[in-house]
Structures are given as structure tokens and as C-alpha cells.
Chain A
Amino acid sequence: MTVFDPDDLQAVWLTLKLAGVVTLLLLFIATPLAWWLAHSRKWYKGAVAALVALPLVLPPTVLGFYLLLLMGPHGIVGELTAALHIGALPFTFTGLVIGSVLFSMPFAVQPIQNAFEAMGKRPLEVAATLRAGRWDRFFSVAVPLARPGFFTAIILAFAHTVGEFGVVLMLGGNIPGETRVLSVAIYNHVEAMEYGAAQWLAGGMVLFSFIVLLGLYLTGGKSWKVTR
């Protein structure tokens, strides 16, 4: 029995690539959003926070189904991408990236937001009295202080994307090298009663998840102490 066939290895690589791209994008999207949520007093702040948290509650198939409709040729996003000559997004890697960014959003935003909130206004006010500009205050004071939040956000966003299934299943079309990620490959092996192949992948995934979370709890705890 071969342990991993090339298709499965491709799925592993694709999953890591997807999680990497999604995590990087989320850092750029979640940071300003978290900052705004931590500091804004706007009346619609609650609504934005609720929107961000929606994927925590919704079954992934709901998100996947709506994305399939929206990005399809008759959806708003689909018509836009067609007009821009990008082509349809479902069944593509780009489509998966968009779905995953939305799906993992709360896992990136909330830890960073908590870190910003925990730090309070004081350090920034002190920095302001030292004539640090807005951007300087943000990058030299806020970001270093919120480092544990960023750390948690990166790990959770990455791990959550690796573990994603419903959105990918609804949106992906199971194309090798393009949309067939690990969770879908495992599902397919199980469905086809190829329990051997499924076990290798599934077991690897359990081990990976455990190591990631262990790392989070060990080093995450330490970096809290360092910065406190």
C-alpha cells in the first residue's frame, strides 16, 4: 500500500498554499478592521462586529451556497468579474481564497481586536505627548503591544483554513491541483470506501492540528508574559 499517492500530496500542498495566502490577506484586512472595531464609537459598530462574527454561527454550507450564487454568472460579483474579464470565480483557486477569507475572518479579527482593546488608550496617549505621529504610534506602539493578538490571529486563521470543508465543497468542484484541498480529498476517500488512504490523511491532519494548537498554547503563553 502506498502511503500518499501524488494526488494526495498535491492536495496537501494546495491546502498549505491556500492557508498561507488566506492568512496573509487576512492580516492586511483584519488589522485595520480590528483597530476600527476597538476604537470606533459609531452607532453601526455593533452591526459590523456582528457581520464579522457571522461565519462563527452560520453553517459553512450556507456561506458556500451564497458565494456560489453571488459569484455565479447571474450573481452581482459574477457579473462584475465578467465585466472586468477576470472570469467566473467558482471552481478556481481565487474563488476558494475569497470564500476562505470571509470564513476565517472572525478568527483573525477578534484576537487582534481584543489585543488592541486590552492595551487601552494610555500607551497611545503617552506616545502622542512624545510627538509620535499617527502612523508612528500605530506601528511603533500599538502593533508591538498587540503582538500576542497577531500571533494568535495568524495561527487560528491558518489552522482554520486548513480545516475548512463546507465552503470549499460547495464552491470548489473538486478539481485536482486547483480546488481539491485536504478536507475534500479525505471526504472523497471515505465516500469511495478507500479507508486506508483516508486514514493516512486524516491522521496527519489530527497530528498537524494538535501540534499547531500545542504551539499556540506554549509560545502564546510565553509571548504574553514577555510583553506584559
Chain B
Amino acid sequence: MASNKSRWLFALGTLLFAMVIRPVAAGEVNAAVAANFAVPMQQIVELFQKESGHAVKVSLGSSGKFYSQIKQGAPFDVFLSADEKNPKLLEEEGLTVPNSRFVYAFGKLVLWSAQPGYVDDKGAVLGKGGYKKLAYADPKLAPYGFAAKETLEGLGLWDSVQGKLVTGESIAQTYQFAATGNAELAFIALSQITKDGKVSGGSWWLVPASMYSPIRQSAVLLSSAKDKAAAQAFLKFLKSEKAVAIIRNFGYDLH
């Protein structure tokens, strides 16, 4: 009995030890990443970890939320925002490493339906009506929501769709409304429906870039990580050809 117990204790001790003393990677990067960039980020991180030996921990969320959290001292090293506004604000407040900000992707807006054949390639379905709900992200919170509002205003449809609009708090929730079929139409990011360079399902209209202000998804190095080699290496990798290829593959533009 006693030896049995001590064996258990030993096993438990080993387990605890293994949990505390994990092999330490060369370095660790804590990244705050805008939700629309979730999937490309995953691929980029995988490649980066393999090549550099550094580990990257990704937190997903809305850019505005990350802005508030970073201001309150959240322990992030790099911030990949969905816009340019939030990184710029942090920069003005002295919370980023000077001159570290750059655009890592230009976002593309699509009008999407989970139903194949529902959206035509000119987006005429918007004006025709016949749908009950049109989902978009809150324009105050999400750059893609703002772009959707600009598009609707440009088409002269902003007033007429008011009764049909449902608002997602993020672009991820907006996608969810359409993916579950609860909204026939949704303005979302092209990256959300792109897999291996192709749109993965439903029907869509790629909104011409001239209809909305550019979605300049910007990354910064936060000042708390100014001496962290792993964080700097990651941002450098984000600009590399390999990363750029992945980013383009998900439907983002890069100029």
C-alpha cells in the first residue's frame, strides 16, 4: 500500500515538475492579433517557429480592445492591428518603439452569402432587396464595418438598408451571423472565406477597393519589447517574402 502511494506521489511530482520546467525556447513572442488575421497568422507563426526556434503566443481579438489593454499594461510584445488608427494612437502615447510601425496587409472587403449563387459578381443583390438581414461589423469598432458603411453610402443604399442591418461586434461575429444562415448577406474580410488562395464556399462580391478607404492593417513593436530579440525577429519575418506569400494567399493586398 505504502509503496503504491509513494509511487503515485512520485508520478505526480514528475508531472508537476514537467509542467513547471518545460524546455525553454530561444525566445518568446506575445502577439496581439486582429481576429481577421487569425488563420494566416497561424501559418506564419508555424513557419517562423520552425525557422527561428522562437515561440509565439497568439491572442486574438478586436483591435480596439487590444488598444485599451495595451494602454493598461497588457504584456504583449507585438500588435498586429486591423487598422492603422490603433497602432498610431499607441505610437502617439509613446507605447511603441519609434519607426517600428508598418503595413503588413491591405484588407479586402467582400459581400458574402453562405448560399451559392446568391450574390452576383457586381453586388446588384444589395439594391434588388429580397433579403431580410444584412450583417456588418460595428463601424465604430471594426475597420471592415467602416468600409462596409462607406460602400453602402457610395451605392446610395445606406438609408434603405437600415431596417435590415444587424451588427456584429467584430468581423468574426459578423461572419458567424452569415455562416449560420441567420443573415443572408454580410460584409466581411476576404481573408475569412479564403483558403489556399481560393474562396472556400458560398457566393461573394469582391467590393472594388475604390469604394472604401484603404484598410491599412498595421503592426508595431511595443515599447516594453524594445530589447526583445525574438519580437524583433518576428516582425522582420512578417515582412519576409515567405510571410508575404502566405498573406497574399489569403486574399490580402500588399503594395
Q: Tell me the A residues contacting B by CB distance below 8 Å.
A: 68-69, 71-74, 78, 87-88, 90-91, 169-170, 173-175, 187-188, 190-193
Q: Are B180 and A88 within 8 A (Cβ)?
A: no
Please state if B166 and A192 are interface contacts (CB–CB under 8 Å).
no
The A-contacting residues of B in range 67-120, CB under 8 angstroms, are 68
With contacts A91-B133, A187-B169, A191-B169 known, is A74 near B64, CB below 8 A?
Answer: no
Choose among A71, A72, A174 the residue that contacts B169 (Cβ–Cβ < 8 A).
A174
B166 nearest CB neighbor, chain A only: A173
A173 B132 Cβ-Cβ under 8 A:
no
Listed by A's residue number, 25 A-B pairs whose Cβ atoms lie within 8 Å are A68-B176, A68-B180, A68-B182, A69-B180, A71-B182, A72-B182, A73-B182, A74-B181, A88-B133, A88-B182, A91-B166, A91-B182, A169-B173, A170-B173, A173-B168, A173-B177, A173-B183, A175-B167, A187-B169, A188-B138, A188-B141, A188-B169, A191-B141, A191-B169, A192-B140
Mark B44-69 against chain A: 1 for CB-CB distance below 8 A, else 0.
Answer: 00000000000000000010110010
Shortest A136–chain B CB gap in Å is 47
Asked whether B166 lies within 8 Å of A174 as measured between CB atoms, the reply is yes
In the assembled complex, B221 has its CB within 8 A of some CB on chain A: no
Give the complex CA separation of A69 and B165 in angstroms: 19
Q: A68-B180, A88-B132 are in contact. Are A173 and B167 (CB under 8 A)?
A: yes
Q: Select one of B65, B138, B183 contacting A174, CB under 8 A.
A: B138
Q: Which residues of A contact B165 (CB under 8 A)?
A: 175
CB closest residue in chain B, given A188: B138
A175 touches B182 (CB 8 A): no
Closest CB in chain A relative to B167 CB, distance in Å:
4
Count CB-based A-B contacts (< 8 Å). Answer: 61
Which B residues are closer than 8 A to A by beta carbons?
62, 64-65, 68, 132-133, 135, 138, 140-141, 165-169, 173, 176-177, 180-183
Chain A contacts for B64, CB-based, 8 A: 191-193
| Chain A residues near B173 (CB-CB < 8 A) | 169-170
C-alpha spacing A73/B182, complex, angstroms? 6
Residue of chain B at shortest CB distance from A88:
B182
Distance (whole angstroms) from the CB of A214 to the closest CB of chain B: 32
Q: Is the CB of A73 within 8 A of B181?
A: yes
Which of B62, B140, B169, B182 is in CB contact (< 8 Å) with A169? Answer: B169
> Do A173 and B135 touch (CB < 8 A)?
yes
B141 touches A74 (CB 8 A): no
- Using Cβ atoms and an 8 Å threshold, which residues of chain B touch A173? 133, 135, 166-168, 177, 183
Q: In the complex, A87 Cα to B64 Cα: how many Å?
A: 35
Query: Which of chain A's residues has its CB closest to B181's CB?
Result: A73
Q: Is the CB of A90 within 8 A of B169?
A: no
Chain B residues with Cβ below 8 Å from A174 are 138, 166-169
A198 CB to closest chain B CB (Å) equals 11
The answer to whether residues A175 and B140 also contact, given A73-B181, A191-B62 and a CB cut-off of 8 A, is no
Q: In the bound complex, what is the Cα–Cα distance between A190 and B44 (angstroms)?
A: 32
Q: Nearest CB to that of A95 among chain B residues?
A: B182
| A169 CA / B169 CA spacing, docked (Å) | 8
Shortest CB distance A213–B (Å):
29
Shortest Cβ distance from B125 into chain A, in angstroms? Answer: 17
Q: Which residue, of A69, A90, A173, has the highest number of chain B Cβ atoms within 10 A? A: A173
Q: Please, which residues of chain A bring their CB within 8 A of the CB of B132?
A: 87-88
Known pairs A174-B168, A191-B64. 16 more at Cβ < 8 A?
A69-B180, A72-B181, A73-B181, A74-B180, A74-B181, A90-B177, A91-B183, A169-B169, A169-B173, A173-B167, A173-B168, A174-B166, A175-B166, A188-B140, A191-B140, A193-B68
Kindly state the separation between the CA atoms of A88 and B140 in the bound complex, as whole angstroms: 27
Of all chain A residues, which has the CB nearest B68?
A: A193
Chain B residues closer than 8 Å to A74, beta-carbon distance: 180-181
A191 CA / B137 CA spacing, docked (Å): 13
| Pair A72/B140 contact, Cβ less than 8 Å | no
Determine the residue in chain B with the shortest Cβ distance to A90.
B182
Do residues B65 and A191 form an inter-chain contact, with CB atoms below 8 A?
yes
- For B138, list chain A residues within 8 Å (CB): 174, 188, 191-192
Chain A residues lying within 8 Å of B135, measured Cβ to Cβ, are 173
In the assembled complex, the CB of A86 is this many whole angstroms from the nearest CB of chain B, namely: 13
Q: How far is the CA of A69 from the CA of B180 in the complex (A)?
A: 6
Residues of chain A contacted by B167 (CB below 8 angstroms): 173-175
Q: How far is the CA of A72 from the CA of B132 in the complex (A)?
A: 13
Q: How far is the CA of A12 from the CA of B133 in the complex (A)?
A: 25
Nearest residue in B to A69 (C-beta to C-beta)?
A: B180
